[in-house]
């Protein structure tokens, strides 16, 4: 336990508050994040958000996840559960709903219905994929060996109500858990302790004694013989908040004082009871899952959530049919936010001509200024939603089988992906956009067409074939080919590991019938990019390549579009306005607020060489959190 205690020691409150009226500065974002122990692999933030497919849309939880300040290798806690599905789950969900309505929330409601197969254990981020493989190997080995249905017997006492597994079959499940522990040690070098107590599904505990008759009556109405397929599911949770209460933001809130926390609808807040004594009535002190920042927030802007709403799924396999994984996307009992949040990825705008079935775009309220149309313009746009942000950094293990064949486990995943020369592991740092990310980009592409905006040149950093296929949709009548410019790549300090991603060469993109300019010679070739470059180097590189792009396009066309990263909106436009670069801390604060498909426009003021930011020709794009929907769990049948 010593190692685990050391980890918990890292997450003690950063500061003690005196009283609400006093003004307390947060300190730098770097200090806040490091004091909270964020892992180097930029753990989960989402899911968290989610997890489109889990609970909260990641693009809202982390409007920008490419932060370089999540470097503390703090492991997560993992656990293996059996989760029911089918008719039995419907009945258990109905019990959860009715017992909450009749008696209020008790401790059992913090976690969904399950059977615990092992104790919580630690696993380094780098071993998670091997751990998932250990579960899959165990399930495959046990295919057809676990009798179904599991015989369950109701047990009630004055403090506990639960469904216990028949003792003989419980021994079978314990052997299954022991085999998983062995596989986990062999493949991931972690210690897993199988659950030694009686196996059961907890229905209620820590409830008021006066509620026992009602809870017992509801429990007896559960038909334990109902059909059920049990799923072996590997979950993880952030150990920093294991003893905190989980709240969910219901309404947005902008801070009025320095010690207050900004709230985004759908975000989760972790609240420690020991930190509440200094908060004024009607206020609580908490930590945002989306930003990692702590502060005061109005109590009536949040509601109580379940602890498991912020858990991450790393593998889910049917015990009844062990041939293939079931729902193995990162669906946190709620939140999808498992993974390498700041891996380098490239995305782009989609072909607006393929857009069907959407509402007609709204017209821009600002009338076109005819005199401005002759001026040179620069548009910079952030890419669309990425697969790893929504489904976690381990989405590859969820979507590729042992032979490297891709399959999607969620409708928000592309129906197909192109093969990579280095195998599917090349997607690890060079990730595609989601279906929803494509839709986001289509909306922007259609709005540009509707505003009669002509794009003369399109520049993108390196990226995946689907990304460039999307960007190629912006060309008008085939005139505009995409120019691949490595110099537009994001701050390389935000790339995990010791090497840059493996990118698809422009010639290969063109061979795949993508409209890429193979004659274009980059201003900054890949060979000039270095891993973990300084902030000053990144800012200078971005300014240099933007200035050279504008120079080479001058007198050849009026409008240049750069589709790159959130940081590009700041890095590619600030210095051409004659402004000095911000310091790195302020830069990160600006960048993290730029959403997917964030769009900005600059215009050159005459022939002076001076540029200024102006209103874009299109309206902004805003979307909110989207929760995973499972009809078996949601549509409760009485």
What residues are labeled active site?
382-383, 565
Joined together, the tokens standing for residue 134 give: 């250990």
Residue pointed to by tokens 């890429």: 516
Neighbours of 458 (CB within 10 A): 24
d(CA 625, CA 463): 26
Q: Are strands 294-298 and 377-382 parallel, antiparallel or unpaired?
A: unpaired
H-state helical runs in 451-534: 465-472, 506-511
CA of 242: how far to CAs of 120, 237, 306, 375, in Å? 11, 8, 12, 56
DSSP state of 313: E
User: What is the distance between the alpha carbons of residues 332 and 122, in angstroms, rounded to a whole number?
Assistant: 18
Strand order across the beta sheet in which 245-249 lies: 294-298, 283-288, 268-271, 245-249, 302-304
Taking each continuous run of H as one helix and of E as one strand, the counts in the chain are 16, 19
Say which residue the tokens 């008719």 belong to. 87
Between β-strands 559-564 and 377-382, what pairing exists: parallel, antiparallel or unpaired? Answer: parallel
Query: Cβ of 482: how many Cβ atoms within 10 Å?
Result: 29
CA dist., res. 19 & res. 104, Å (int): 32
Q: Helix or strand or coil: residue 125?
A: helix
The SS3 call for residue 301 is helix
End-to-end CA distance of the chain, in Å? 46
Q: How many CA atoms lie within 13 A of 498 on its CB side?
A: 0
Q: How far apart are CA 614 and CA 380, in angstroms?
A: 12
Sign for the CA dihedral angle at 315, 499, 593, 10 comes to positive
Distance CA 417, CA 454 (A): 30
* φ and ψ of 245, to 5 deg: -85, 140
d(CA 359, CA 350): 17
């Amino acid at each position: 336990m010593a190692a685990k205690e050391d980890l918990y020691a890292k997450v003690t409150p950063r500061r003690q508050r005196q009283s609400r009226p006093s003004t307390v500065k947060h300190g730098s974002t770097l200090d806040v994040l490091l004091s909270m122990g964020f892992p180097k692999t930029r753990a989960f933030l989402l899911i968290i958000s989610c997890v489109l497919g889990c609970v909260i849309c990641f693009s809202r939880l982390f409007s920008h996840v490419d932060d370089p300040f999540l470097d503390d290798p703090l492991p997560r806690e993992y656990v293996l559960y059996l989760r029911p599905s089918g008719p039995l789950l419907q009945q258990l969900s109905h019990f959860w709903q009715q017992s909450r309505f009749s008696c209020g929330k008790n401790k059992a409601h913090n976690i969904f219905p399950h059977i615990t197969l092992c104790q919580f254990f630690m696993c380094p981020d780098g071993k998670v994929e091997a751990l998932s493989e250990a579960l899959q190997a165990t399930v495959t080995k046990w295919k057809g060996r676990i009798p179904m249905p599991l015989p369950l017997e109701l047990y009630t006492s004055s403090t506990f109500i639960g469904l216990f597994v028949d003792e003989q079959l419980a021994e079978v499940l314990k052997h299954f858990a022991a085999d998983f522990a062995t596989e986990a040690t062999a493949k991931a070098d972690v210690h897993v302790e199988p659950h030694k107590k009686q196996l059961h599904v907890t229905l209620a505990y820590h409830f008021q004694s006066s509620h026992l008759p009602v809870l017992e009556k509801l429990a007896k109405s559960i038909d334990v013989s109902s059909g059920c397929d049990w799923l072996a599911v590997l979950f993880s949770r952030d150990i920093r908040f294991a003893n905190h209460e989980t709240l969910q933001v219901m309404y947005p809130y902008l801070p009025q004082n320095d010690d207050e926390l900004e709230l985004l609808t759908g975000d989760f807040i972790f609240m420690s009871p020991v930190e509440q004594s200094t908060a004024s009535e009607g206020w609580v002190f908490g930590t945002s899952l989306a930003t990692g920042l702590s502060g005061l927030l109005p109590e009536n802007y949040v509601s109580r959530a379940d602890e498991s709403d912020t858990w991450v799924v790393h593998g889910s396999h049917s015990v009844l049919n062990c041939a293939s994984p079931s729902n193995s996307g990162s669906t946190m009992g709620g939140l999808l936010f498992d993974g390498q949040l700041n891996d380098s990825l490239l995305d782009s705008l989609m072909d607006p001509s393929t857009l069907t079935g959407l509402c007609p775009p709204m017209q821009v309220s600002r009338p076109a200024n005819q005199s401005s149309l002759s001026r040179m313009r620069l548009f910079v746009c952030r890419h669309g939603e990425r697969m790893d942000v929504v489904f976690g950094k381990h989405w590859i293990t969820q979507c590729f089988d042992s032979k490297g064949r891709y399959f999607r486990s969620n409708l928000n995943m592309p129906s197909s992906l192109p093969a990579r020369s280095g195998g599917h592991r090349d997607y690890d740092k060079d990730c595609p956009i989601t279906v929803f990310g494509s839709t986001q980009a289509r909306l922007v592409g259609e709005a540009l067409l509707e505003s009669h905006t002509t794009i003369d040149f399109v520049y993108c950093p390196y990226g995946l074939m689907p990304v460039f296929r999307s960007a190629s949709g912006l060309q008008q009548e085939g005139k505009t080919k995409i120019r691949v410019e490595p110099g537009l790549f994001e701050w390389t300090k935000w790339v995990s590991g010791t090497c840059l991603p493996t990118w698809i060469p422009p010639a290969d993109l063109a061979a795949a019938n993508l409209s890429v300019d193979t004659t274009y010679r980059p201003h900054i070739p890949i060979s000039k990019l270095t891993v973990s470059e300084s902030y000053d180097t990144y800012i200078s590189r971005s300014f240099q390549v933007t200035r050279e792009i504008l120079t080479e396009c001058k007198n050849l066309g009026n409008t240049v579009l750069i589709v790159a990263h959130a940081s590009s909106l700041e890095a590619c436009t600030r210095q051409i306005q004659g402004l000095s670069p911000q310091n790195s801390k302020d830069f990160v604060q600006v960048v993290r607020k730029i959403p997917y498909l964030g769009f900005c426009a600059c215009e050159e003021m005459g022939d002076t060489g001076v540029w200024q930011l102006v209103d874009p020709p299109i309206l902004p794009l805003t979307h909110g959190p989207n929760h995973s929907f499972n009809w078996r769990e949601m549509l409760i049948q009485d």
